């Protein structure tokens, strides 16, 4: 097996005195789509924050494509091909669509190419290129956010709760886009509290509870063994 | 007459419509739940009601009188109390001092001279955080801090309680106790309006529920009606079958709390997995009154 | 008509210079949320540097310009963002205000240290060029300035709207974390904006210096014009900022042309910018209460009453000893220290407990002194009345801006300070231009305290009483409400507190305390003048209060002594006078983030000694004698968090003399 695109070893992280990640071990193979499931408060978003360099780990290691990247700066990681789409609307509301797209070129792809890719995938964005991003609907904003994943040609894509606050039909469309990105060979770690849509497009799944990964495997087996955990573990 | 009426309120941030012609009400002596997916505009509604956010359009009426133009503190004086989703405890004061301050503010300059110690202790006892009385408020667990905010707000003897996700951070038994406390508070004649993600709690303690989606009220009614409402199922579940797609944070509880979903075409993972509980539906605690 | 046109041209010229300065200010504020009070001071230092390069070292003008505007100023701006102002934008406004005030004072100190006071002049650009427009003449310098402001406007527009880094600057205001995930570097954007901002400050300074002259203070305070213009654009709109600058430039110019040169109007001309600033701030819309910003700050502990009483007694004892043995000159210094310490106590209330910054606390002291002298009633009654008048003035300053908070309130006090300086104190019916008033020593129920020693003792008593009052206030309900308001205004609002009136009351009380200090000072000095209460001296006062700890009485005590020593040191070592300023300024830059200041270090040391050393000392003693005879408690510890309970047991030894 080739070097995994993401390898997380015994990762710890805390907010103040409260430890949120308590030894996370996770491997995402190159070219694979992995869904990370788990109840609210399991530490999934914290894991994304630590892997993407937004939050410091208190212990453990992260390897990205075989390179040790623990405590690397998030801008640095973004420039070497880690594309993180954080929870919520990850666009700049007070900039126009086009300006948002221009900023995406910081990841290394020229601005013109970013615009081309984004507009060819989402023609609606082209119509609204001079509109302020914050004035678009939630779905359109999420399209704009996904444009970064599409256009910046990342090595690994981290998606955090893509579906949050969106109408189901739009979520379906977004996950179609995720599937397309996956087909182009991009590795994806996709975090969802509610599993089914995410599992539809993924090759592997992992379940996180209480700051640890408690199970990994094919989506089907995960569903079989962990269903009560995924859905019931919340309470 | 409802104690609180929210009438056709619209809130726009720039071009984003956070609340879209929302109308609902809350009655004295009843617990009203305000639920909906993340980003549906629930907290914005709270801000409009309590006066922290000016609505772009619409009215808020309290005790039959329009309060839309009143500043935050005047509304509080009339009997509105609220807690915050993102905690606003006075971090550099102790838990006890937090509640003490609330009494001081409520009783005004002259009332400050009146001894309040026993009242403070009684209130801490009532919400169950006496053990933390001398801790600094920024060092206590989230759940405790939420109870502290409730205690602080009760010091003002409000007739309307606005509780923004009061149970998050509480464990199961604490949540049960909290549910009982809510029922008690309503029984004393207060109106309780609560934004909450724990559907077990909502379905068991609420008398009325309003469901917000994309800033609009898509359904109102008793918990049993809400469970059956097709629009609600669509908002929460995506489809009116048991499809679990796009379920926003916390919404998984809907199934557990007993949303009556038609279970054809079961997905490998879905509400169905809670099958047992769904069938034994009245896992719903009857409101205590 | 032609005079009108001439005034118009002059107005446009100064407006253009203000616009350049203000746009730099807006740029740094919008990208980093730090309002740089020192913007003008940076321009001042850069103007001196320009003089140094072009006149003293004889470089060609263009080279000096390139070096100052394109090398030194951007480098300084970059350095400031990297090492001074990073992360300040997210913190409380009071901290960033104090740090940039520190920068201002530091810059002035640096300039006076490097370029000793002497007559210097800088020639205008293109001195021989004149453009004839009909009947009026426009100088080359004016033309260049107006053109440059247009270039700056266009350049900033292009930068912010047409370049990626400019877009990133705007993006980093919204969400720097997200910008990082995009691969952008918010720090680079912030550093660039500070580099450009400082360069624009330098440009404005260099353009104005031939008009204003090379003066440490005049150039620094010219920035008030820029503040006013920037406020006109609500600190975000560059076009409105330019409009504001032009309106201000023109109105100042017309005022100087057409207002009568006699009476009050003559002074009004000098304070046009301050009045404009005040008016713009008053017209600002109400700030909404923000939620989700709660930060419990680590507050210095409040001492128990016995402890406070004991230390008060110690202090009085020391002063009593001094007052018996010291020369009159030195006694005056002790009295001055007491005055400053009392003014700092008023800052402990306002800033330390309340979280608001006043940039003109000495002006309130001046109001008190003026009232005391004018009342000519040297008794407790006169003192009380003078304090009340100062409190009233404080309320008047806070009233128009009671809807506003933080930065705006602070700038309003700054405008107030300037107006007091130039308009009120100098007025005939007040101290008069460079004049003084006599003031009598206070009498107590008919007994005059006429000896300087006695009077100093009296001031010490007042200081101790004021401190005890403050501590009682802090422990009581009002103090709790103050802390609550600082921690979460939104929660206070939803609990029913009308913060506007509370804030006015707080301001008034603080001004009243400062006024009482001023009145006592007037009695001490027996003659009092406007020079004793210059607005500018409020800045080092604020800084020393913060450096020594603006949350504690101890901090105020040491701060008062420190401020009193400053001029003493300066006259003893005139060659270091600038350095002292610089040390205080940059010291505040370094320590401004912790409002508990040096006093807290003393407490920490004390606690450490108490917990670590004392047991060891005790253990080494074979049999401990009764506790009352033990060595004096080494910890100047202002007690623990819960004074009601834990404190009673450990009544300090000095409590029972």
Closest-CA distance, C71 to chain B, in angstroms, reads 40
C495 with B71: Cβ contact below 8 A: no
Instruction: Return the minimum-mean-pLDDT range out of B206-220, C122-136, C290-304.
Output: C290-304
- Tens digits of residue pLDDT in B242-261: 333 333 333 333 333 333 33
Q: Give me the pLDDT at residue C1, please.
A: 63
> A169-178, C91-100, C226-235, C621-630 — which is least confidently predicted?
C621-630
Instruction: Note whether C585 and C575 are within 8 A (CB).
Output: no
Decide if pLDDT at A166 tops 70: no
- Which residue in the set B172, B246, B273 is minimally distant from A235, CB to CB? B172
Q: What is the per-residue pLDDT for B85?
A: 82
Q: Are B245 and A168 inside 8 Å of each other by CB?
A: yes
C481 found inside a domain: yes
- Both tokens of A106, joined, read 């910081």
**What are the extents of the domains in chain A?**
6-81+154-232, 93-153
Over residues C189-211, the pLDDT tens digits come to 999 999 999 999 999 999 998 88
> Which of A106, A110, A134, A151 should be substituted to probe chain C, the one whose Cβ sees the most C Cβ atoms within 10 Å?
A106
What pLDDT shows up at residue B269? 30
DSSP bridge pairs for B192:
B31, B161
Q: Which of B132, B67, B80 is nearest to B106 (CA)?
A: B80
Q: What chains are in contact with B, requiring at least 3 Cβ pairs below 8 Å? A: A, C
Residue B157: exposure state from Cβ atoms within 10 A (0-12, 13-18, ≥19)? exposed
Per-residue pLDDT tens digits for C68-86? 999 999 999 999 999 888 8
> Is C298 in Cβ contact with B92 (below 8 Å)?
yes
> What are the two backbone dihedrals, phi and then psi, of residue C443, each rounded to the nearest 5 degrees?
-115, 150
CB contact under 8 A, B90 and C484: yes
Q: Would you state the pLDDT for residue C54?
A: 92
DSSP-derived pairing of the beta strands B65-66 and B57-62: antiparallel
Judged against a pLDDT cut of 50, whether residue B217 lies above it is answered with yes
The closest CB to that of A106, out of C174, C177, C183, belongs to C183
Task: Report residue A1's pLDDT band, with 50, 70 and 90 as the boundaries.
Answer: low
Within this chain, do residues C211 and C348 fall inside the same structural domain, yes or no? no
Q: Give B-chain residues touching A87 at CB under 8 angstroms.
A: none
pLDDT of residue B287 exceeding 50? no
Q: Where are the alpha helices (DSSP H) in chain A?
A: 44-51, 74-79, 97-104, 111-121, 123-127, 138-151, 168-183, 196-201, 219-232
Q: Tell me, what's the pLDDT at B63?
A: 93
Q: Which ipTM did the prediction report?
A: 0.91
Range C118-136 average pLDDT: 81
What number of CA atoms fall less than 13 Å from residue A126's CA on the CB side? 11
Q: Are C48 and C114 in contact (CB under 8 A)?
A: yes
Instruction: Read off the pLDDT band of B239 (50, 70, 90).
Output: very low
At residue B65, the pLDDT reads 92
**Residue B38 pLDDT class (50, 70, 90 cuts):** low
With a cut of 80, say whether residue B35 has pLDDT above it.
yes
Q: Which of B198, B245, B267 is facing A171, going by the closest CB pair?
A: B245
**Residue A227: closest CA among chain B residues belongs to which residue?**
B269
| Closest chain B residue to the Cα of C297, Cα to Cα | B92
* Mean predicted confidence (pLDDT) in C635-654: 36
Distance from CA of A230 to the nearest CA of C (A): 29
Residues 117-136 of B with CB under 8 A from A: none
> Cβ separation of A103 and C164 shorter than 8 Å?
yes
Per-residue pLDDT at B186 exceeds 80: yes
| pLDDT at residue B264, as a whole number | 28
CB pairs < 8 Å spanning B and C: 117
Of A84, A93, A99, the CB nearest to C181: A84
Question: Which ranges in C399-476 belong to alpha helices (H)?
Answer: 406-419, 452-475
∠ at Cα C596 (C39, C342), nearest 5°? Answer: 85
The DSSP secondary structure of C192-255, one letter per residue, reads HHHHHHHHHHHHHHHHHHHHH-S-HHHHHHTHHHHHHHHHHTTTT-HHHHHHHHHHHHHHHHHH
Is residue B192 helix, strand or coil?
A: strand
Nearest residue in A to C161, CA atom: A99
B238 CB neighbours in chain A (<8 A) are 168-169, 171
- Which residues, other chains included, contact C172 with Cβ-Cβ below 8 Å and sequence gap of 6+? C31, C179, C184, C186, C189, C190
Q: What is the pLDDT of residue A231?
A: 42
Domain assignment present for C238? no
Check CB contact of C640 with chain B, cutoff 8 Å: no
Same domain for C446 and C340:
yes
Given this model, what pLDDT does residue C625 score?
44
Q: Does A40 sit within 8 Å of B250, measured CB to CB?
A: yes
Average pLDDT over residues C630-634: 39
pLDDT at A229: 52
Please check the confidence at residue C165 and state whether its pLDDT lies above 80: yes
Query: What was the pLDDT predicted at C602?
Result: 79
Supply the mean pLDDT for chain C: 84
pLDDT at C640 (0 to 100): 37
Last residue of a domain, one of C533, C562, C595: C533
Of A153-157, C16-20, C251-255, C265-269, the range with the lowest mean pLDDT is C265-269
The rounded distance, in Å, linking the Cα atoms of C297 and C487 is: 8
Nearest to A171 among B172, B246, B256 (CB): B246
- Predicted confidence band of residue C89 (pLDDT cuts 50, 70, 90): confident
Q: Do the Cβ atoms of B156 and C289 come within 8 Å?
A: no
Smallest CA–CA distance, residue B229 to chain C, in Å, is: 34
Instruction: Output C301 or C125, whichever has higher pLDDT.
Output: C125
Query: Which pLDDT value is given to residue C597?
Result: 78
C338 part of a folded domain: yes
**Closest chain A residue by Cα to residue C178:** A90
Q: Is B151 exposed, middle or buried, given 0-12, 13-18 or 19+ CB atoms closer than 10 A?
A: buried
Q: What is the pLDDT of residues C471-491, one digit of tens each?
A: 999 888 888 888 888 888 889
Angstrom distance (rounded) from CA C357 to CA C92: 11
Contact between C223 and C56 (Cβ < 8 Å): no
> Which residue from C297, C497, C499 is facing B92, i.e. has the nearest CB?
C297
User: Can you give the pLDDT at residue C250?
Assistant: 93
Cα B56–B62–B65 angle (5° rounding)? 85
User: What pLDDT is attached to residue C643?
Assistant: 37
Rounded Cα distance, A228 and B271, in Å:
10
Question: In the predicted model, what is the mean pLDDT of residues A5-13?
Answer: 92
How many alpha carbons lie under 13 Å from residue C149 in its C-beta half-sphere?
A: 29
Among the residue ranges B25-29, B115-119, C253-257, C419-423, the one predicted with the least confidence is B115-119
CA C605 centroid distance within chain: 29
Instruction: Give mean pLDDT, residues A130-138.
Output: 81
Domain that holds residue C494: 312-533
Band (C48; pLDDT cuts 50, 70, 90): very high
Confidence of residue A84 (pLDDT cuts 50, 70, 90): very high
User: Could you tell me the CA-to-CA distances from A115 to A111, A150, A155, C298, C315 in Å, in that order?
Assistant: 6, 11, 20, 49, 72
Specify whether C216 is located in the same domain as C341.
no
- Spell out the residues 6+ positions from residue C585 whose beta carbon is closer than 8 angstroms to its own: C102, C103, C104, C105, C106, C107, C108, C109, C110, C540, C543
Query: Is there a contact between A193 and B252 if contact means CB atoms under 8 Å apart?
Result: yes
Q: Is the pLDDT of residue C405 over 80?
A: no
C-interface mutation test, from B43, B67, B72, B157, most C Cβ less than 10 A away: B72
Chains that touch A (3 or more CB pairs under 8 A): B, C
Within 8 A of C297 by CB-CB distance, chain B residues are 91-92
Q: Is residue C206 included in any domain, yes or no?
A: yes
B17 shares contact with chain A (CB less than 8 Å): no
Closest Cα in chain B, distance from residue C246 (Å): 30
Q: Which of C156, C190, C222 is the last residue of a domain?
A: C222
Do C65 and C165 lie in a common domain?
yes
- The mean predicted confidence, pLDDT, of chain A is 84
Q: From C22, C16, C44, C46, select the one nearest C35 (Cα to Cα).
A: C22
Query: Minimum mean pLDDT among A29-38, B223-232, C178-187: which range?
Result: B223-232
Number of domains forming the structure of chain C: 2
Q: How many helices (H) and strands (E) does chain B have?
A: 11, 10
C179–A52 CB contact, under 8 Å: no
Mutate which of C287, C289, C494, C647 to test chain B, going by most B C-beta atoms within 10 A?
Answer: C494
- Contact between B274 and A232 using a beta-carbon 8 Å cutoff: yes
**DSSP β-ladder status, B57-62 and B4-13:** antiparallel
- As given in the structure block, the two tokens for residue C141 are 């310098």
Residue of C nearest to B78 (CA): C496
Cα separation, B258 vs B282, whole angstroms: 8
Q: Cβ–Cβ of B94/C494 closer than 8 Å?
A: no
Residue of chain C with shortest Cα separation from A89: C178
Instruction: Report pLDDT for B91.
Output: 85
Domain-ending residue, one of C518, C533, C548: C533
Assign A24 to helix, strand or coil.
strand
pLDDT tens readout for residues A40-73: 667 888 899 999 998 889 999 999 988 888 888 8
- Cβ-Cβ contacts under 8 Å, A98 against chain C: none
Mean pLDDT (chain B) is 77
Q: CATH fold of A6-81+154-232, please?
A: Rossmann fold (3.40.50)
What are the residues whose beta carbons fall under 8 Å from the beta carbon of A165, sequence distance 6 or more? Answer: A138, B37, B38, B39, B40, B248
Q: Which residue of B has its CA nearest to C644?
A: B134
Is C296 near chain B, with CB under 8 Å?
Answer: yes
pLDDT at A194: 62
- Which of residues C649 and B34 earns the better pLDDT score? B34
Determine which of A225-234, B243-252, C6-15, C34-43 has the lowest per-residue pLDDT on average: B243-252
Q: Is A104 on the interface with C (CB under 8 A)?
A: yes
Q: Is the pLDDT of residue B90 over 60?
A: yes
Round to whole Å and give the CA distance between B34 and B162. 10
- What's the whole-model pTM score? 0.82
């Amino acid at each position: 097996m080739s070097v995994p695109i993401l390898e997380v070893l015994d990762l710890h992280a805390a907010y103040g005195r409260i430890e949120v990640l308590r030894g996370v071990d996770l491997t995402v193979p190159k070219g694979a789509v992995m869904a990370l499931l788990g109840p609210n408060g399991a530490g999934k978003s914290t894991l994304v924050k630590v892997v993407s360099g937004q939050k410091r780990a208190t212990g453990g290691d992260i390897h990205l494509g075989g390179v040790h990247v623990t405590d690397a700066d998030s801008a640095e990681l973004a420039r070497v091909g880690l594309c993180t789409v954080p929870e919520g609307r990850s666009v700049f509301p007070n900039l126009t669509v086009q300006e948002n797209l221009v900023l995406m070129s910081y990841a290394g792809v020229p601005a013109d190419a970013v615009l081309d890719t984004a507009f060819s995938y989402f023609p609606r964005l082209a119509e609204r290129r001079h509109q302020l991003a914050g004035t678009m609907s939630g779905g359109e904003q999420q399209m704009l956010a996904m444009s970064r994943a599409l256009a910046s040609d990342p090595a690994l894509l981290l998606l955090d709760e893509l579906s949050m606050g969106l109408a189901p039909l739009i979520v379906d469309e977004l996950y179609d886009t995720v599937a397309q990105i996956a087909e182009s060979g991009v590795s994806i770690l996709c975090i969802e509290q509610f599993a089914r849509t995410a599992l539809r497009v993924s090759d592997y799944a992992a379940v996180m509870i209480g700051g640890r990964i408690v199970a990994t495997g094919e989506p089907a087996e995960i569903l079989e063994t962990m269903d009560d955990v995924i859905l019931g573990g919340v309470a | 007459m409802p104690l609180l009426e929210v009438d056709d309120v619209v809130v726009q941030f720039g071009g984003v419509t956070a609340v879209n012609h929302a109308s609902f009400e809350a009655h004295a002596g009843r617990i009203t739940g305000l639920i909906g997916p993340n980003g549906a505009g629930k907290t914005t509604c709270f801000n409009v009601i309590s006066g922290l956010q000016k609505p772009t359009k619409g009215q808020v009426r309290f005790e039959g009188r329009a309060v839309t133009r009143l500043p935050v503190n005047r509304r509080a004086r009339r009997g509105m109390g609220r807690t915050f989703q993102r905690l606003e405890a006075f971090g550099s004061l102790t838990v006890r001092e937090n509640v003490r301050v609330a009494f001081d503010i409520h009783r005004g300059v002259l009332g400050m001279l009146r001894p309040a110690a026993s009242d403070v202790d009684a209130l801490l006892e009532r919400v169950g955080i006496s053990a933390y009385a001398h801790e600094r408020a920024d060092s206590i667990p989230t759940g405790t801090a939420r109870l502290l905010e409730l205690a602080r707000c009760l010091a003002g003897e409000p007739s309307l309680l606005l509780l923004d996700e009061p149970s998050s951070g509480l464990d199961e038994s604490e949540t049960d106790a909290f549910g009982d406390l809510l029922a008690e508070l309503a029984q004393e004649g207060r109106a309780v309006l609560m934004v909450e993600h724990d559907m077990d709690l909502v379905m068991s303690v609420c008398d009325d529920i309003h469901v917000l989606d994309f800033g609009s009220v898509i359904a109102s009614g008793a918990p049993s009606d809400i469970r059956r409402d097709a629009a609600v199922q669509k908002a929460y579940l995506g489809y009116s079958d048991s499809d679990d797609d796009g379920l926003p944070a916390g919404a998984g509880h809907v199934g557990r709390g007993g949303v009556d979903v038609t279970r054809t075409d079961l997905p490998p993972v879905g509400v169905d997995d809670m099958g047992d509980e769904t069938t034994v539906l009245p896992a719903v605690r009857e409101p205590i009154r | 008509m032609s005079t009108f046109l001439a005034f118009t041209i002059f107005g446009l010229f100064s407006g253009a210079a203000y616009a350049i300065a203000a746009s730099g200010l807006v740029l740094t504020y919008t990208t980093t949320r730090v309002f740089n009070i020192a913007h003008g001071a940076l321009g001042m230092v850069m103007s001196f540097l320009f003089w140094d390069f072009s006149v003293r070292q004889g470089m060609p003008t263009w080279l000096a310009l390139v070096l100052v505007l394109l090398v030194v100023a951007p480098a300084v701006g970059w350095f400031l963002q990297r090492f001074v102002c990073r992360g300040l934008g997210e913190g409380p406004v009071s901290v960033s205000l104090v740090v940039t005030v520190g920068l201002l004072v530091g810059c002035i100190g640096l300039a006076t240290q490097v370029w000793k006071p002497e007559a210097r002049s800088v020639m205008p650009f293109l001195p021989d060029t004149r453009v004839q427009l009909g009947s009026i003449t426009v100088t080359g310098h004016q033309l260049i300035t107006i053109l440059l402001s247009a270039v700056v406007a266009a350049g900033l527009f292009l930068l912010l709207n047409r370049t990626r880094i400019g877009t990133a600057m705007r993006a980093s205001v919204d969400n720097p974390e997200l910008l990082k995930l995009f691969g952008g570097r918010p720090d680079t954007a912030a550093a660039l904006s500070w580099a450009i901002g400082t360069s624009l400050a330098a440009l404005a300074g260099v353009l104005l210096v031939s008009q204003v002259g090379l003066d440490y203070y005049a150039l620094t305070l010219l920035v008030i014009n820029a503040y006013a213009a920037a406020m006109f654009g609500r600190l975000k709109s560059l076009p409105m900022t330019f409009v504001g600058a032009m309106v201000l430039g023109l109105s100042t110019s017309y005022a100087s042309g057409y207002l009568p040169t006699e009476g009050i109007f003559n002074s009004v001309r000098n304070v046009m910018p301050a009045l404009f600033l005040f008016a713009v701030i008053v017209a600002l819309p109400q700030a909404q209460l923000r939620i989700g910003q709660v930060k419990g700050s680590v507050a210095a502990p409040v001492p128990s009453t016995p402890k406070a009483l004991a230390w008060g007694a110690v202090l009085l004892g020391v002063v009593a000893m001094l007052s018996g043995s010291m020369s009159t000159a030195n006694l005056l210094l002790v009295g001055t220290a007491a005055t400053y310490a009392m003014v700092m106590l008023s800052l402990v209330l306002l800033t330390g407990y309340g979280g608001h910054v006043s940039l003109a606390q000495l002006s309130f002291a001046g109001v008190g002194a003026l009232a005391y002298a004018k009342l000519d009633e040297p008794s407790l009654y006169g003192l009380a009345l003078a304090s009340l008048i100062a409190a009233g003035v404080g309320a008047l300053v806070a009233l128009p801006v009671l809807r506003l908070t933080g930065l705006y309130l602070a700038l309003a006090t700054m405008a107030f300070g300037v107006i007091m300086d130039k308009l009120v104190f100098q007025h005939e019916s007040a101290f008069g231009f460079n004049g003084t008033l006599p003031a009598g020593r206070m009498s107590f129920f008919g007994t005059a305290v006429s000896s300087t020693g006695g009077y100093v003792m009296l001031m010490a008593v007042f200081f101790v009483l004021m401190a005890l009052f403050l501590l009682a206030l802090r422990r009581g309900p009002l103090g709790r409400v103050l802390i609550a308001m600082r921690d979460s205004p939104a929660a206070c609002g939803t609990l029913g507190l009308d913060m506007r009136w509370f804030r006015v009351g707080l301001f008034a009380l603080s001004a009243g305390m400062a006024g009482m200090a001023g009145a006592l000072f007037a009695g001490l000095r027996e003659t009092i003048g406007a020079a004793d209460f210059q607005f500018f001296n409020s800045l080092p006062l604020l800084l020393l209060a913060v450096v020594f700890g603006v949350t504690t009485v101890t901090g105020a005590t040491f701060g008062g002594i420190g401020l009193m020593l400053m001029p003493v040191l300066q006259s003893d070592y005139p060659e270091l006078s600038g350095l002292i300023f610089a040390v205080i300024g940059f010291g505040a830059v370094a320590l401004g983030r912790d409002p508990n200041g040096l006093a807290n270090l003393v407490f920490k040391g004390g606690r450490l000694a108490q917990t670590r050393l004392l047991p060891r000392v005790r253990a080494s003693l074979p049999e401990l004698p009764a506790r009352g005879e033990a060595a004096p408690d080494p910890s100047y510890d202002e007690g623990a968090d819960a004074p009601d309970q834990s404190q009673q047991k450990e009544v300090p030894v000095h409590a029972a003399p």
